[in-house]
Structure 1
């Protein structure tokens, strides 16, 4: 499986979710973008794990993003991904850094966050960020686009 970087696009209703060590986190309704790395041994199959978790919702959360995948207010709408051997996860997060959820998904780096809120569907913005990094991205739709 290819290694790379990905962005999960969620549509969500507002609410508060207890997220591991972050505690209770308020989420505005709209859209959230989560930037993740797939440079480990499973490569981009990690993104497919997120899809399975969002559908089955039968496991305990391991990472911050799992709390969103398991919460019924969050719907995984799409995944934008790109194969790369470069560590560009933080670069991608910086390109879409507006409206961060502080401390989310960035415990292993110096970024302010790897999760960002948008009032509208951020697909075009996210794919433009991939292109700005010289990455040819793939878009996988899991829900009706709005």
Structure 2
């Protein structure tokens, strides 16, 4: 049940109306393939800012984006590396955004920090998929 947040400027080629769905699909497809989440498990949001509201380091282009993924813990370092590479390669292929302009952060709060399915603690819920990939 990853929660995905994508932040970028409104000048980014992925921020236009027709491209947003494509970007969300790219992220979701990578998570399904690499993290082995169920296909129906989509929880993503785009945060699009005016350039004055999204400051970037001087070594980034205006197309830079920040992708934050909050996920249940359990994936290996190799799996995370594979996910990072998959996302960056897909975004670069889909939008021409330089790979150095894509930053990905994974947050992994413990299962006791998730209240899901009617207020149950995630540590006591059968997720229906393997977290150890």
TM norm structure 2: 0.34
TM norm structure 1: 0.32
Q: Which has the higher helix share?
A: 2
Larger-gyration structure (1/2)? 2
